[in-house]
Every structure is written in structure tokens, then in C-alpha cells.
Structure 1
Amino acid sequence: MRRLLPALGLLCLSPLVAEYLLGDVPITSIALLLAMIPLYGCGALLIREVVRRAGYGWPSILAFGLAYGMIEEGFTTFTLFDPNWAGFHVLTYGYIPSLGISLNWTIFVMGLHTFWSIGTPIALMEALAGKQQRTTPWLGKIGLAVVATVFALFVIGPVVYILLTHRFHASVPQVIGTSIAIIIIVGIGILLGQRNRAPHTQTAGHVPSPWLVMLVALVATSIFQLIYAADPYGLSPWLAGLHLPAWAAIVLYLLLLCGMAVPVGFWSRQSGWSDAHRFALAAGALLTYIWHSFPWPVLMPGVDLMNDLLSNAIFAAGAIALLIIAARWLKQEEQPVVATVPAPGGLLP
């Protein structure tokens, strides 16, 4: 039962972060969580279980999270290719006619899934799970098979529905290209995982405090969101007045991603890198979603501004409470256990 609780928590936490904390869906539509768990929740749990069973590490989780994003946006919703998805024109900014995609939207939405839909919920739930269960499987073989089956059905189901109702769907070359990209990304994740399993020594270099790591993550992920806010055709164009060219946004995205990958990769190879540092990265990303939910408009129709802001405040409070609980749990784990030795003669004087 103790292993099942963090698994159930991850099933719920992934869609809560991905859709509700982001600000897409208000709390008045909390019942939709049940429809999101099979895709977001099962996807995150499946990735986490596969990685932990294989003895892989965080590079594999992020790589598989990227593959998840390609599956959802390339096959299930087709937002990578649909120029009028949900009435929005997310592909207009930086559109590449020969590929039928916007590189800006692709980088942004893949970042959302990799770091927030998958990475952050896994890191938070592993922090809450405790040291003994942090990197061990939470599901048995039957549970893993059930999760994988449910996830597959909820990936295939929307595709079949779209085809039967003659709605927009990707072209054959786009489907083939997306499939190849997913296979390559999964292959990279496996190679990174095998490298993680190989014996390696950590160096004794300097590692910043978890507080500083959290601040760095908060700043970096905030900049990531601000770059997208400059997209005049995006879902939240509140910085469109900056008139940032699409190519410049792509350059900023790439510089930002490399600028985070290099120091985090270096820190994680040091002997002082701990679970608290990994939690700090997730905490910084979660704090970004908290503040960014307020300028981000709700995508559900019929929700007024007051209800939108109230919903954001409720989910923000819940996220902060979760961070506090996880941080205290990790702090308790770091405290040394002092063994008491009874005086000679036993407990009695």
C-alpha cells in the first residue's frame, strides 16, 4: 500500500500541474481530471516506472518526457500541425511551410511537457515518497501492464475519433516524421540510461545550495515562459508589444536550454548533489507555473476573470503547500539519527 500511494499521487499530480496549475482549466472543471489521468497521469507514471526499473536516471526521464510530448501533440491533439487548433493560430509565429510546423510552438510545447507535465510531477512525488521508495518501482508487473494499456488506449482513441469525424489530422509525411523523431528520442533516452548505469565516480567540486538551485530554476523557467509571451499569435501574447522576431525567440530558447543544461549537468556529477537539489529544480519550475497562471488566460469557454483568478489562487496555494511539505520531509531525512544507549543496568535506576 505504501508503494501504491505515490503512484496514485503521480497519476493525479501530472494533469493537475499540466493543465490546472498552468491555468488552462479552472477548478470549476475539476471533474475533467478523471479524463486527463489516463493520458497525463499514466504517461508520467509509465515513464517513471520504466526508468526506475531499468536503473536509468533523470536524463532518461527528461528524454522520455520529450517523447511523450511528441506523442500527445503530434498524434493525439495534432497541435504541432493544426494551424487552427481550438480556434487558435499557434503555428503562425515562425511557421515553416515545408514542414507544416512552427518551430517556436514546437520548442515551447515540448518544453511544457518535458519539464512540467512529466519532470516536475515525478520529482515532487519522489521527494514525498521518501528515501526508501524514491528510486524503486511503485508498481508490480500487473500494475505496470494496466497503466501501459490505459495510456495506449487514450493515445489511440482520440486519433481514431479524429479520423472517423474527418477532423484535421497530420499528413502521412508528418506522421512518419513524428514517429521517427519519437524513436530517435527514445533511443537517446535508453543510451543515456545505460550510461547512467555504468560505474562512474563523482568529483568533489562545489555545489550551490538548494535555495540557489531553486532560484536559478525559477529564473530560467520564467524566462522560458516570457519568451513565449512575446508570440503575437500565441495563447498568452501579453508581451507581444516587444515585437520579438520568431528567429530571435528560437535563438533565446536554445541559449536558455543550453545555459541550464551545462551547469545542471556539471553540478549533478558532484558528490554534493543530493535529492534536495533535484527537488529544488522542480520547485523552481513549479513556482514559475504559479505566477504565470495569472497572466495566462483560461482556455475553457464561459469562465469570467474573477473565477479564473480565484482558481489560479487556489491551485497556487495547493502547490505551495505541497512544496512546503516536500521540503520539510527532505529536511527531516537529512537530519542524522542519534542512537541512544541505555545506561548500565537497563531502564530502571
Structure 2
Amino acid sequence: MYEARYDHASDKEPTHLVVRVVPWDAGPAAVGGSYEVGEVMVRLLVGTLASAAVLLVGIDLVAGDGVQLRPGAVIVLVGALVVAFSRRRHVFWVGVVAAVFVGAMSLGPGIPDVRGDRGLAVAVVRALAWVSLLVAAAAGTRLIWTGRSRRDRKLKAGRRQAAPAENGLPRDWRRPAQVVGLVVLCAIGAELLAAYGESTGDPGAIAFSVVFFAALYGAPAVLTRDLVRRRGWGWPSMLLLFAALGVTEACLVDQSLFSSHYQGYDGWEESREATLIPALGISAFNAYNFVVGHVIFSFGAPVAVAEGWRAERAREPWLGIRGSLVAAVAYVGAATLILSDPESRSGSPVQLLSSVVVVAALALSAALVGTRGTATRAPRDTLRDVPVWAVFAVALIAALITGAVPETWNGFVVGTTVTGLLVVAFLAVTRRRPWPARHVAAVGLAFMVARGLLAFTYYPLIGEVATVPKYLHNTVMLLAVAAAGLVAMRLRDTRSPAS
């Protein structure tokens, strides 16, 4: 096994790179102490990930439940294979994320096992699986850290000191903070803001939901946003890709659009029957509510607000290779856990195949619209003279109307009409003059505020929650969204429009 080593001629800004190829097992003297990565640590990472996969499968076998292919075992096994066949520094992140993610997701069912609820053998196997995941995470972290040369670290430290701070926050930390804020905002907008689930008013369940839904919704949101920005596309392409993600979630991942009684939610069957299309086996209102809801609350509105935090970077990608890999692994892991639930297997083969065709058509449309827009785009004046609060007010009225319509055919017609008119108006205006990032953020904030306000009018559709925790939950979530949106709307930038 060989690897390219890079040595800078000095600690200053390098003018050239000297590349040497040395064996993996060469000692520090052979490489001058630079970029030392141990083959033993690589084997340890691969071995512990593979061992964890075997042990996770073995838990059910030891318990007498037969062989069951757990999603966690698949995730860590894929991580082991990726590291084994591509031993690059950024790939080690895949192993670390797989180990940490599976370990965190197994805490809930694993604690009773370790206590001995299913016997001593299961407790031992579960404990060994956790130890393997912990060692894998440590080995991967060690590989990532030692993969940096001391000179490279000094050079980066010098650049950080020389780089000016922006608004009091060092430049190196602003982009990660923006990404973390976006994925958390996606989790809040998609699930917690509506306050319809069992986690409402439960701090522990809320904390878990933030992490899990950040992976399920936030990770694909930031990946899609980065794809659009790297290609030089605009919001029309981004919304089409978000629609593809919405169809993927509702039809291919949790398959809730095809379910007649999903997860025991109150009123699910009555709502579905009110606008049922027998030939398709779906509810027209649910199709509108689920897909458009994902486009707006799970992806679009959080991205619009997050881009407003740093308007000068609204058209730039935020993730590198490493961050993209972490986001991809997080999304696949979360989606796999959803798919492992028997409640998420409601679609027929024909329905699933049709959903794949719709997703592909939306993705192709996004590429065609984006390519055409890139070819014809020219510098134009932006709508900076339009009051941002006027944009917020118009969007809030539209959002309240679409959010308050009944789950009937009349509600479906009103909701789709208002949504369609808003989209047409948005596209018509932006074709003439692109919007500043703060105006786009105002639209996203308006929809999330409307959802937060309407959540005060009902109780969760599943589970029991007392009055005080319920309204405290609504208040905290609405304040969090409002704070994030107000920051985006108040910041001004004259350099880069968002669309």
C-alpha cells in the first residue's frame, strides 16, 4: 500500500509541493515525520466495524429470535467496506460517522439488554458490540487526526490568525455553524414546529428528534442546496429537487402516502378517505399536504432562512468532500432506520415504481431548468427597494390560508390554488429581477411562523401531553424559528442576490 506525502518548502504560503511515495509501514524517519498514518489503525477500524456488524446480527440470534438483518449492522458493514477499499483520509470519516450514528441509535433498545432483561448472553453480546463501535470511532478519529502533518497545521493556524473575523465570529467557524443551524432548523420545521407527535413537550424525546430528523431532513437539504449552488442553478431547480426529496420521503422511505392507518395517528383514516383516489390508492389532499409540506417546511424554508444568515455566501456551496460524505451517510442511516419499520412498507410494487419515475422526472426537470437558467442568466438589479416586511406579510397570509384549509376536496382546491399562485408570482418576479437573500428568507420565515401559530390550535395526534408542556413546546419552537428568521431578515448585504 502506498500513499502520496506532501511536504511544504516552508511554513509560509507554499509556492510548490514536493510529492514523495513511501510504503504504508515506513517509520517516521522515512517520511520526515509528516503525514504518518498507521496500517495497524486502518486494520483496527475495518476490523472493529465488521465485528460490530456481526455482533449486532448476533444479538437476535443469541436471544433465540433467529437471524435478522438489522439496519445498524448494514450501515457499519458498508462503512467497513468503504474504508477497506478506499483508504483515503476523508473516507475515514465514513467509518467514524457510521460507528457513532449506529451507537447512538442503539442506546434506546440496548440499555435494557445490558441490564440483562433478555439474559446474560445477550447482555455480553450487546456490550461487545458497543465496545467495537467505540474502538472503531476512536481508531477512525486517530487516523483523521494523525493524517495531518505538523507543518500543515501550523500553516492553517497562521492563516486563521491572519484572516479577519466577521461580526465577531472567526471565519473558520461561521460556515460549520451555518450548516449545523440549517440541519437543526430542518428538524424543527419538518416535525417539531407542528407539534403533532409523541415528542411534544418531552425534552428527552425532543433532543433525540432534533438529532434524528437533522439526519433525515437536514442532511439531504444541505446536500441538495450545495449541488444547486455548485452547478450555478437557482431556486426553481432547488424547489424541484426538494419536491423529488418530498416524494422520496412520502412514497419511498416512510411510504405514509400509501398507508391507510399510519403509526396509529388519530383521524388518519377519515382524512385519507375524504379525498381518496381509488385508482391510485392515495389521498389527493395527503399528496398535496405531504409533498408540498416537505418542500416548504422540511427543506425550502429552512434553507431560505439559513442562506440569509450570510447573504454574501448565499450562492456558494458550504460542504467539502468530507462534509458531503458525513451528510450522505447520516441521511442513508436515518432513511434505513425508517425503512426497517414494518409501518413503512405500505406501497405496492406499482406504486413504488411510479414514485421512482416521478422522482426521476422531477430531478431531470431541475437539471433542465437549471441549465437553461444558467445559460440565459445576466446581471440585473435586485428587488432591494421592496420592503422585506411587505414580502413577509404577503407570504404569511398565503401560508395561513394553505395551513388552515380543511382536509377535503374544497380544501385541496383552495390549497393547491393559493400555493400555485404564490409559486407563479415568485417565479414571474424573479425572472425580471433576482431577490436578495433576506427577501427569500422572509418568505421561508412566514411559512414556518404560520405553521408554528397554527400548532397552538390542536393537540398531538398521538400520545398524551399535559396542557402546560404542550404550549411551552409550541412557544419555544416558534421563538426559535422567529429568532433564526429575524437574524436573516435584518442582515443586509449588497454583493450577492440569492436567486
Q: Same fold (TM over 0.5)?
A: yes
Matches within 5 A, 1:108-127: 108-127=289-308
Q: 1:254: Cα distance to partner? A: 2.7
Selected match of 2:428 from 266, 270, 279: 266
How far the C-alpha of 1:167 sits from its partner, in A, is 6.8
The 8 Å contact of residues 123 and 278 in structure 1, kept in 2 or not, is answered as yes
**Percent identical:** 25
Amino acid paired to 1:157 = L
1:166: how far off?
Answer: 8.1
Distance 1:205 1:102 in 2: 40
Work out the CA distance in 2 between the residues paired with 1:272 and 1:49.
19
What are the equivalent positions in structure 2 for 1:143-292 lying under 5 Å apart? Answer: 143-159=323-339, 161-162=340-341, 165=342, 168-201=345-378, 208-227=386-405, 230-231=406-407, 246-271=408-433, 273-292=435-454
Q: CA deviation at 1:208?
A: 4.1
Task: Report the Cα offset of residue 263 of structure 1.
Answer: 1.7
- Equivalent-residue separation in structure 2 for 1:41 and 1:205 (angstroms): 29
Structure 2 residue 323 is matched with structure 1 residue 135: no
Q: Flag structure 2 segments of 5+ consecutive residues without an equivalent.
A: 1-171
Matched, 1:102 2:278: no
**TM-score with structure 1 length normalisation?**
0.83
Alpha-carbon shift at residue 115 of structure 1 (Å): 1.0
Q: For each residue in 1:25-80, what CA deviation from the matched residue of structure 2 results, as whole angstroms up to 9, or x when unmatched?
A: 42422222222221011121111111111111111221111111111111221110
Q: Deviations over 1:131-177 (max 9, x none)?
A: 33222111111221221232123223322x23xx5874211011101
After superposition, what is the alpha-carbon deviation per residue over 1:98-141, rounded to whole angstroms, capped at 9, x for unaligned?
Answer: 1110011110111111011100110111111x133222111111
What is the Cα deviation at residue 209 of structure 1?
2.6
In structure 2, C-alpha distance between the alignment counterparts of 1:181 and 1:220, rounded to whole Å: 27
Give 5+ residue unaligned stretches, structure 1.
Answer: 232-245, 336-349
For the Cα contact (< 8 Å) 1:23–1:312, is it kept in 2? Answer: yes
Partner of residue 37, structure 1 = 214
Contact 2:258 2:281 in 1 (8 A): yes
Cα contact 1:26–1:300 (8 A) shared by 2: no
Larger Rg: 2
Q: Does 1:20 align with 2:192?
A: yes
- C-alpha contact 1:75 1:155 (8 A) present in aligned 2: no
Q: Structure 1 167/57 Cα, relative in aligned 2: closer, same or farther at 3 Å?
A: closer
Using the size of structure 2 for normalisation, the TM-score is 0.59
1:3 Cα deviation after fit: 2.1
Of 263-272 and 95-104, more deviation after overlay is shown by 263-272
Aligned equivalents of 1:205, 1:133: Cα separation in 2: 16
The answer to which structure, 1 or 2, has the higher relative contact order (CA under 8 A, 6+ apart) is: 1
* 1:15–1:37 contact (8 Å) kept in structure 2: yes
For 1:311 and 1:124, how far apart are their aligned partners in 2?
21
Residue 279 of structure 2 aligns to a residue whose secondary structure is: coil
Q: CA RMSD in A?
A: 2.2
Distance verdict in 2 for CA 1:167–1:155, change over 3 Å: closer
| Number of equivalences | 313
- Give the residue type in structure 2 aligned to 1:252: V
Q: 1:323 aligns with which of 459, 473, 485?
A: 485
CA distance in 1, matches of 2:242, 2:188: 16
Corresponding position: 1:86 with 2:263: yes
CA contact (8 A) 2:257 2:283 kept: yes
Closer, same or farther in 2 for the Cα pair 1:114/1:167, shift >3 Å?
Answer: closer
**Contact 2:442/2:485, CA 8 A, preserved across alignment:** no
**Deviation (angstroms), 1:264:** 1.2
CA–CA distance in 1 between the matches of 2:479 and 2:338?
A: 33
Amino acid aligned to 2:352 = V
Aligned to 1:308: 470
Q: For 1:205 and 1:124, locate their aligned partners in 2 and report how far apart those are by CA, in whole Å.
A: 18
